[in-house]
Amino acid sequence: MSFQTDTIHAGVAPDKAYGAIMTPIYQSSTFVFEDIGKHRGFDYTRSGNPTRKALEDSLAALEGCSGAVAVTTGMAAIATVMHLFAAGDEIICTDDCYGGTARLLSTFAEHFNVCVHFINLRNIEDIGGYVNEKTRAIWIETPSNPLLNLVDIAAVTAFAKERGLLSIVDNTFLSPYLQQPFKLGADVVVHSTTKYLNGHSDVVGGAILSNDPDLDQKLKFLVNALGTCAQPFDCWLVLRGIKTLVPRMKEHERNARIIAEFLDSHPKVKRVFYPGLESHPQHDLAKRQQRGFGGMVSFELEGGQAEVEQVLRGTRIFALAESLGGVESLIEHPATMSHASMGSEHRLVAGITDSVIRLSVGIEDPEDLVADLRQALA
Ligand SMILES: *Cc1c(COP(=O)(O)O)cnc(C)c1O
């Protein structure tokens, strides 16, 4: 089936009890056994739940892989995957990853002696210098947050494969509609389903995808052992969100392009970060490894704090809030919000100045969105 058909049907079959066309919410902690040692596929919701299974089957179909587990949040997905490693192991991670990922991986380094090297994965020739016999995995996130830098997934996974390392890709920013890491050689994909997959800013959730029977089993074991599984109602919400993933992503993308072009021509804007602009240094890579350019746009303003505050306070449709990927447009200031915990020094090295503003472009009428930004910038 095509991707779009799978968003509607994969994992979802009419319910066996009454033929309900929509997957019921099996809000039950436990399931009655038919006889001693005999149940109907589920015994306890931490180990498995029919609503969660429908979501997991849907996600596996969309990412094109064999295994999927739905967990409570994106961070729960990342924390669960980190349990694949043991004290003494080493991991290489992209240096401009999500702030929560950097914080969690650093905590693993501190508490569990898993050494993490944060490096710039855009310089593939540098990676070899960080690989030794203890190295186990490379953690990729692309596009990055908030500057929309890209990592060449196929090149990094090929490098990892040659050395027997696991490739893990955080695919949250584009969703499986716009980027398919397994086709580019990934072993594990993680998602914050909080973002585009659910798409309505009304749930926090996560998922771990894998494409190897051994790995699928290990990850299922860890989710059950750790108890990081997603709740039935949350799974139902994400499953509902996925049904409109394709039309939503098309609208996000159309609006983001219009806004990136508007900002690019605005005299008060110094620089626009959007992989869809030809001026983006990795525009060709974006065309090669992505189906589209996504709904996130960042830009650097001319001027200082006063100008930044004027824009952040001045928008009427774009709401001042963290997070992304919902149908409504959001504006935020990485230096004081999403990336505050990074520290100013690390931010400046990464190129995130205090004048950078990040937009999560929603699916409102693009003319209204442009007018909103125009008046806030005036
Ligand atoms: C939001 C986000 C996460 C964390 O997800 P939560 O659902 O907030 O725990 C991880 N990675 C990326 C790229 C994100 O945007």
- Which residue, 242, 269, 290, sits at the end of a domain? 242
Is the beta carbon of 80 within 6 A of some atom in ligand 1?
A: no
Is 46 in the active site? yes
Decide the pairing of beta strands 206-210 and 67-71. antiparallel
Q: What is the pLDDT of residue 340?
A: 87
Q: Which residue has the tokens 């930044």?
A: 308
Q: Are residues 121 and 39 in the same domain?
A: yes
Q: Are residues 252 and 333 in the same domain?
A: yes
- Which residue, 209, 242, 275, sits at the end of a domain? 242
Q: What is the pLDDT of residue 228?
A: 98
Q: How far is the CA of 22 from the centre of ligand 1 (A)?
A: 28
Q: What is the pLDDT of residue 375?
A: 98
- Which residue, 187, 218, 242, sits at the end of a domain? 242
Is 89 in the active site? no
Structure tokens at 352: 């995130």
Catalytic residue selected from 6, 89, 152, 170: 170
Q: Are residues 234 and 257 in the same domain?
A: no
What residues of the chain score a pLDDT lower than 50?
none
Q: Are residues 218 and 253 in the same domain?
A: no
Q: Are residues 234 and 274 in the same domain?
A: no
Q: Which domain holds residue 120?
A: 3-242
- Total tally of structural domains belonging to the chain: 2
Is the beta carbon of 98 within 6 A of some atom in ligand 1?
A: yes
Q: What is the pLDDT of residue 348?
A: 85
Q: How far apart are CA 39 and CA 15, in angstroms?
A: 18
Q: What is the pLDDT of residue 249?
A: 98
pTM of this prediction? Answer: 0.97
Decide the pairing of beta strands 269-273 and 206-210. unpaired
Q: What is the pLDDT of residue 342?
A: 75
Q: What is the pLDDT of residue 376?
A: 98
Residue-wise pLDDT tens digits, 253-278:
999 999 999 999 999 999 999 999 99
Residue-wise pLDDT tens digits, 353-373:
999 999 999 999 999 999 999
Q: How far is the CA of 196 from the centre of ligand 1 (A)?
A: 11
Q: What is the pLDDT of residue 162?
A: 97
CATH number at 274 reads 3.90.1150.10
Angle at 197 between CA 339 and CA 320, to 5 degrees: 40
Q: How far is the CA of 100 from the centre of ligand 1 (A)?
A: 7
